[in-house]
A and B are shown apart, each in its own frame.
Chain A
């Protein structure tokens, strides 16, 4: 269970409060107007933004004070998810050990992760030589290997075309449910939310609301979201 307990984030000209719980294994969309703080919410969970007050708990343990790398969390950013100077295998291998000193079994796990994400035979390539969809898969393969229970997606597939994006979301859904990962996904697109996430957190007007049923929220949105969705 991921708990945001009386969390308050303050930046110049911006504040966001959250008091909510996400059940383990849930897939949750985070939706709301631009600038409302969707990315900031994820950055706080990942450890890049320090809340002014409140706590973040995972399975009852306070993780608010941990540095990003030690949190039970993997995050995929909008861009710059891969090191362009490291090969695909090396990028994925960072999910096993951040110093890349990999044993033979470690390397087998890297190959397995590449296979699971449909990247067989591409291990020696540099990210720059891959297509956008393949690059997303590399980042996903690494997240699989890191094996952290929470996966945060800060619109990593935003630059992909609709068909490719749908394909990636289905892949994330398959892999994350196999590992029983809890997934929070920022999105602008209600269709993505319906396709991928049974539950949805609405972020609007300085507040992240507790997750609710995605279909219900999108069919009868609260006023702040309605304006954004154009309903």
Chain B
């Protein structure tokens, strides 16, 4: 019937352009990389070591993050104390914390001249080194433990309060509650959390760049960078990119089957009434878990802020220029993310049947690629037609937008579906279509998630140290790259100052976009 074909045509018209662009950016760049790659015989033993290291560090990071999250999430789920809401909100921060700032903070606590080694020296114990496998895993746990705690807390709070009431009325103690309520939940939730973190750590670049390196602690992403920057061996870089993409894709497919949970959720500050955890020993255990986790997460950041704040005023000019560049890139990347995500979300929400699912999974494609794979592909695409180095900043914005897209869509899609389900018929019955429908129905209904996803995209781009490292020359550095260079030159005071600046800019950008100028008194 003609009138049934209409929505399909509309879906294609709305979602077609961004979908095509997305395909070109992900599968298109991958195809370019695959064509240009050396044969597999070009792989040396060092490359296989990199593959093994990549998998091993991701496995360890995911395992430790998931396991350590259990006592902390349990404690947060069953205790109320002043500052609980603040702590939970703080657990959301590492998601937009620039990785390089986190590394600086960890160095301040665990590094050669850090607090830990100062303490060990007092006791006469020789210093420990943060570089290598230990440091990489430490940084990954620092960055992902909060995510794991939040996801697990979400699952904990999803156990209906009535179950705990029932357990209490049956006289169950902590042992039984754990056996009948908590362990089944953990069995269901942990695999997804493990895989989500494993996937993130698989494409880790900035951490490996700063804390890894050397033949024994190189990830595939880092190997791509080295083949690119040091040897300028594009064939080898492309081959490594194919390997990285294969790893990510395999993990992503496994993750899809286990349904990885969404990383964000509201309403986590609601404690449940519990009757089973009143024992003194349990209280002590929970208090210890919360204090240790809070100290582990807060100390590095506090250390970097204390060191960096005094240096802020005397930061050299290039740092400020880099900051301006980073802001521009972040805002461009944010606009692009929204320009791609909004039409895709609307088209998916309106589409019926299989087409919707197609668009939906298409948007998850960036999860199967990685910054350096994307960067290598874009470099190979651009090189015959333009100077990739001159285009470093636009390319960085484009790559960042692509990689932020899955997050933006996860935030926008539920709201788009709800808007269509609640008000689609009303808009249809009034004959609202095209731009009027967008302006009067869709945008107002999506205002909140739109701001949130824009804030996330901007902050992620602001702190990104990935694609830019491949392309950039000293005249086009972004703030994270400038910070990395200062660290490499052992200008630690300037580096700490730049880290504080980056931290302030990222969080301010996020806060302003997400909350600022919010006329939200209206429904």
Q: Which residues of A contact B (CB under 8 A)?
A: 46-48, 50, 65-70, 73-75, 77, 80-86, 90, 94-95, 98-100, 126-128, 142, 146
- B423 & A80 in contact (Cβ 8 Å cutoff): yes
What is the distance, in angstroms, from B449's C-beta to the closest C-beta of chain A?
14
Q: Which of B432, B435, B444 has the most CB of A within 10 A?
A: B432
Count of B interface residues, CB-CB < 8 Å:
26
**Interface of chain A, helix or strand or loop or mixed?**
loop
- Bound Cα distance from A50 to B7, whole angstroms: 13
Given contacts A48-B425, A65-B3, A100-B436, contact A126 B522 (CB under 8 A): yes
B441 nearest in chain A by CB position: A83
Does B78 interact with chain A (Cβ within 8 Å)?
no
What is the distance, in angstroms, from B444's C-beta to the closest C-beta of chain A?
4
Given contacts A50-B4, A85-B445, contact A70 B431 (CB under 8 A): yes
- Bound Cα distance from A95 to B445, whole angstroms: 20
- A95 & B522 in contact (Cβ 8 Å cutoff): no
Q: Which residues of B400-431 are within 8 A (CB) of A?
A: 422-423, 425-431
Partner among A50, A68, A100 whose Cβ is within 8 Å of the Cβ of B428 = A68
- B435 & A99 in contact (Cβ 8 Å cutoff): yes
Does B2 interact with chain A (Cβ within 8 Å)?
yes
- A83 & B1 in contact (Cβ 8 Å cutoff): no
- B426 & A83 in contact (Cβ 8 Å cutoff): yes
- B2 & A65 in contact (Cβ 8 Å cutoff): yes
Partner among A48, A67, A82, A95 whose Cβ is within 8 Å of the Cβ of B6 = A67
Does B523 interact with chain A (Cβ within 8 Å)?
yes
- Bound Cα distance from A68 to B427, whole angstroms: 9
A142 nearest in chain B by CB position: B430
Q: Which residues of B contact A73 (CB under 8 A)?
A: 429
- B1 & A69 in contact (Cβ 8 Å cutoff): no
Q: Which residues of B contact A80 (CB under 8 A)?
A: 422-423, 425-426
- B440 & A100 in contact (Cβ 8 Å cutoff): yes
Partner among A65, A69, A82 whose Cβ is within 8 Å of the Cβ of B432 = A69
Given contacts A67-B428, A68-B429, A95-B430, contact A83 B2 (CB under 8 A): no
Partner among B2, B432, B522 whose Cβ is within 8 Å of the Cβ of A98 = B432
- Bound Cα distance from A142 to B430, whole angstroms: 10
Q: Which residues of B contact A83 (CB under 8 A)?
A: 423, 426, 440-441, 444
What is the distance, in angstroms, from A74's C-beta to the closest C-beta of chain B?
7
What are 23 A-B contacts defined by CB distance under 8 Å?
A48-B428, A50-B4, A67-B431, A68-B428, A69-B429, A73-B429, A82-B426, A83-B423, A85-B522, A94-B430, A94-B432, A98-B427, A98-B431, A98-B433, A98-B437, A98-B440, A99-B432, A99-B435, A99-B436, A99-B440, A100-B440, A142-B430, A146-B430
- Bound Cα distance from A89 to B460, whole angstroms: 41
A129 nearest in chain B by CB position: B523
Q: Which residues of A contact B439 (CB under 8 A)?
A: 99
What is the distance, in angstroms, from A128's C-beta to the closest C-beta of chain B?
5
Q: Which residues of B contact A (CB under 8 A)?
A: 1-4, 6, 422-423, 425-433, 435-437, 439-441, 444-445, 522-523
Given contacts A67-B6, A99-B435, contact A77 B444 (CB under 8 A): no
Q: Which residues of A contact B2 (CB under 8 A)?
A: 65
Partner among A50, A75, A126, A127 whose Cβ is within 8 Å of the Cβ of B429 = A75
Q: Which residues of A contact B1 (CB under 8 A)?
A: 50
- A74 & B422 in contact (Cβ 8 Å cutoff): no
Q: Which of B6, B426, B433, B523 has the most CB of A within 10 A?
A: B426
- Bound Cα distance from A80 to B215, whole angstroms: 63
A74 nearest in chain B by CB position: B429
- Bound Cα distance from A90 to B523, whole angstroms: 14
- Bound Cα distance from A95 to B3, whole angstroms: 23
Q: Which residues of B contact A86 (CB under 8 A)?
A: 440, 444
Q: Which residues of A contact B431 (CB under 8 A)?
A: 67-70, 98
- Bound Cα distance from A95 to B523, whole angstroms: 21
What is the distance, in angstroms, from B216's C-beta to the closest C-beta of chain A?
57
Q: Which residues of B contact A81 (CB under 8 A)?
A: 426
Q: Which residues of A contact B437 (CB under 8 A)?
A: 98
- B425 & A85 in contact (Cβ 8 Å cutoff): no
Q: Which residues of B contact A67 (CB under 8 A)?
A: 3, 6, 428, 431
- Bound Cα distance from A77 to B439, whole angstroms: 23
What is the distance, in angstroms, from B391's C-beta to the closest C-beta of chain A?
40
Given contacts A50-B1, A50-B3, A85-B522, contact A94 B440 (CB under 8 A): yes
- Bound Cα distance from A73 to B428, whole angstroms: 12
Q: Which residues of B contact A146 (CB under 8 A)?
A: 430
Q: Which residues of A contact B432 (CB under 8 A)?
A: 69, 94, 98-99
B425 nearest in chain A by CB position: A48
- Bound Cα distance from A86 to B442, whole angstroms: 12
- B433 & A69 in contact (Cβ 8 Å cutoff): yes
A99 nearest in chain B by CB position: B436
- Bound Cα distance from A80 to B421, whole angstroms: 10
Q: Which residues of A contact B429 (CB under 8 A)?
A: 46-48, 68-69, 73-75
What is the distance, in angstroms, from A81's C-beta to the closest C-beta of chain B?
7
Q: Which residues of A contact B444 (CB under 8 A)?
A: 83, 85-86
- Bound Cα distance from A83 to B433, whole angstroms: 15
Q: Which of A68, A90, A95, A127 has the most CB of B within 10 A?
A: A68
What is the distance, in angstroms, from B66's C-beta to the closest C-beta of chain A?
41
Q: Which residues of A contact B523 (CB under 8 A)?
A: 84-85, 126-128
What is the distance, in angstroms, from A56's C-beta to the closest C-beta of chain B?
13
A93 nearest in chain B by CB position: B440
Q: Which residues of B contact A48 (CB under 8 A)?
A: 425, 428-429
Q: Which residues of A contact B427 (CB under 8 A)?
A: 98
A69 nearest in chain B by CB position: B431
- Bound Cα distance from A94 to B430, whole angstroms: 7
What is the distance, in angstroms, from B434's C-beta to the closest C-beta of chain A?
8
Partner among B3, B4, B6, B425 whose Cβ is within 8 Å of the Cβ of A77 = B425
Q: Which residues of A contact B436 (CB under 8 A)?
A: 98-100
Q: Which residues of B contact A99 (CB under 8 A)?
A: 432, 435-436, 439-440
Q: Which residues of A contact B430 (CB under 8 A)?
A: 69, 94-95, 98, 142, 146
Q: Which residues of A contact B426 (CB under 8 A)?
A: 77, 80-83
What is the distance, in angstroms, from A141's C-beta to the closest C-beta of chain B?
13
What is the distance, in angstroms, from A163's C-beta to the closest C-beta of chain B?
27
B522 nearest in chain A by CB position: A85
- B441 & A69 in contact (Cβ 8 Å cutoff): no
A94 nearest in chain B by CB position: B430
What is the distance, in angstroms, from B445's C-beta to the closest C-beta of chain A?
7
Q: Which residues of A contact B435 (CB under 8 A)?
A: 99
